[in-house]
Amino acid sequence: MLSTNVVQRGIRTMSSLRLALVQLAVGDDKAANVARAVSFIERAKQEHADIVTLPECFNSPYGTSHFAKYAENIPNGETSAALSEVARRNSIYVIAGTIPEREDDKLYNTCTVWAPDGKLMVKYRKMHLFDIDIKGKITFRESDSLSPGNSLTTFEVKGCKIGIGICYDIRFEEMARLYRNRGCQMLIYPGAFNMTTGPLHWSLLQRSRANDNQLYVACVSPARGLPPGYVAWGHTQLTNPWGEILNELGDSEDMVVADIDLKVVDEVRSQIPTFGQRRTDLYDTVWKKD
């Protein structure tokens, strides 16, 4: 059975869209993981969501020992086929968290976005790989198995321009600023912070990126599993451009549905006009790839 939805609704306006964030329980069975994701996507549609977002590594356990086993081609793998079909059948945008992607001899941690007609709109490969060593607590090296992506990814839904990052990417404020420079009003990060960094930094980083760039930030985690293996912090969160936490889940499988009022973005940016006050004659944030 699916867990009970957490639904927060306001008065929908021409400047709003409804966003569903799914905190999915993930196990060892890929087919079961995908089936649960599909069920939540269908549930989000029943709640009249325009967009539904899944967590990082929703079709596989998170860990370097799992990536190769669960990796697929995009868009020709079985997970992509299921996402395309459920997006088309429900006429909904799906930000499909991440899955391990295989291309030639490389693996990537990749987020796909599916349109209501079932077509793949864009994909984003995690740019900053999670390589940390906190003595006595956690050591992890994504670079032992994954390759980094090299491109920013944006798309638009109902007048809202959205930028995609993945988990560790949120620690790099320059990346969020680049998305802001490109006109984004929302940043979405599928992520799986752990039990060491989660309590300290998960919420702090989301509020910081939202406040710095005066936009909505959503981070979508898997539900908390049990050791052994990597244990996610959970606490999927939605933050507004004022830096206020609008919605936060606990550690169990659940879903929140919230209305996003884009007028708040304009309101904050006009009242505290930091974007136009930056001293770009002295400093700037630039994308070197173009």
Q: How far is CA 47 from the centre of its chain?
A: 20
Q: Which of 111, 160, 167, 219 is catalytic?
A: 167
Asked whether 89 and 78 are in contact (CB, 8 A), the reply is no
The verdict on whether 126 is a catalytic residue reads: yes
Cis before residue 228, ω within 30 degrees of 0? yes
- The answer to whether residues 276 and 61 touch, using CB atoms and an 8 Å cutoff, is no
Residue 253 falls in the annotated catalytic set: no
Active-site residue 85, yes or no? no
Q: Which tokens is 176 given?
A: 């969020």
Tokens 């596989």 locate to: 60
Distances (CA, A) of 203 to 165, 237, 243, 245, 248: 16, 7, 10, 9, 9
Whole-number Å distance between alpha carbons of 104 and 110: 15
Neighbours of 188 (CB within 10 A): 26
Among 30, 45, 56, 160, the active-site one is: 56
Which one is catalytic: 126, 160, 219, 253? Answer: 126
CB 105 within 8 A of CB 121: no
Residue 41, both tokens = 């996507």
Could you give the C-alpha distances from 91 to 23, 80, 106, 177, 290, in angstroms and in order? 21, 16, 33, 32, 34
| SS3 call for 8 | strand
Write the DSSP symbol of residue 159: T
Task: Decide: 178 and 287 in contact? Cβ < 8 Å.
Answer: yes
Between the alpha carbon of residue 114 and those of residues 5, 38, 42, 157, the distances in Å are: 23, 13, 14, 11
Q: Which residues are catalytic?
A: 56, 126, 167
